[in-house]
Amino acid sequence: MGQERQCLGGTSSRIVVADDHRLFRSALRRLLDLQPDLEVVGEAADGQEAVELCRRLRPQLMLMDWRMPRMDGLEAARQIKVEFPRTIVLVLTAFEEPSHLSDALKAGAAGYVLKSAPIAGIIDAVRKALAGESPLDGEVAARLLLRLVEEMPKDEAPEREEALVLRALSPRETEVLRLVARGFTNQQISRSLFISVSTVKKHVRNVISKLGVSDRTQAAVRAVELGMLAERNAAE
């Protein structure tokens, strides 16, 4: 069974680690807890327990293994995002399998981290996701999102509610979202639109809030669902 501890307060971000390998899970917890801005408030040994801990502890981020007993990470991510759309899910995986990774994005994940990555890389991905930035390399993110475009039914149009959400974005926010969906970093968006990086960050935060998603990656996924990336590609 997983273990949990009470958050001691402060400004540290609340994280739950879900992995069926106890030693790996415990080691990851210890390393994350060494960071002053991060706090692991719970551990789960399977996907079902991860969902239950999310309900009880309301973490800001779930760091979750792809393959687990009782319920795998993909199904757990789906359930968590339905109940808690603002919770960030970061998938731990042993392999960079494109079909699996696009499935993770469709399930609501902000991205993935290789289990073989150095701890500094895992911590960096966690911090990026919490800051509303993509934990994925720009090229990787663009490839995965283009794969989603190819997998979308050709005759599927955005629902009326989604169209209303899209109209809630300002013209500048729409421009920023299109570039986010193409895998652009904040710096690249800044150069492309001739605005400051801080202004880009503000627009990205507004887009995330208006779309009702938890992170930058899921904002890009929503743009794909709305057909925005396909429209831009067709125009080009």
Query: For residue 218, what is the domain's CATH number?
Result: 3.40.50.2300
One domain, residues 163 and 228: yes
One domain, residues 42 and 101: yes
DSSP code of residue 12: P
With 80 as the cut, is the pLDDT of residue 217 above it? Answer: yes
**Which pLDDT belongs to residue 165?**
67
Cβ–Cβ < 8 Å for 28, 122 = yes
Three-state DSSP string of 115-168: CCCCHHHHHHHHHHHHCCCCCCCHHHHHHHHHHHHHHCCCCCCCCHHHHHHHHC
With 90 as the cut, is the pLDDT of residue 166 above it? Answer: no
Length of the chain counted residue by residue: 236
- Give me 135's structure tokens: 């934990």
For 11-27, what is the mean pLDDT? Answer: 93
- 184-205 pLDDT, tens digit each: 889 999 999 999 999 999 999 9
One domain, residues 76 and 171: no
* Average per-residue pLDDT for the chain: 84
Give domain status of residue 3, yes or no: no
**Which pLDDT belongs to residue 5?**
43
With 90 as the cut, is the pLDDT of residue 105 above it? Answer: no
- Expressed as residue numbers, the domain containing 111 is 13-131
CA 170 to chain centre: 23
Distance CA 130, CA 147 (A): 25
Give domain status of residue 222, yes or no: yes
> Number of folded domains in the chain?
2
Give domain status of residue 26, yes or no: yes
Cβ–Cβ < 8 Å for 216, 204 = yes
Give domain status of residue 7, yes or no: no
Cβ–Cβ < 8 Å for 201, 128 = no
One domain, residues 72 and 176: no
Give domain status of residue 189, yes or no: yes
Give domain status of residue 62, yes or no: yes
One domain, residues 36 and 92: yes
- 28-85 pLDDT, tens digit each: 999 999 999 999 999 999 999 999 999 999 999 999 998 898 899 999 999 999 999 9
One domain, residues 127 and 17: yes
Give domain status of residue 140, yes or no: no
Please give the residue that has the higher pLDDT: either 159 or 151.
151
With 80 as the cut, is the pLDDT of residue 153 above it? Answer: no
Give domain status of residue 63, yes or no: yes
Cβ–Cβ < 8 Å for 73, 35 = no
User: Is the pTM of the predicted complex or chain greater than 0.85?
Assistant: no
Give SS3 for 132: coil
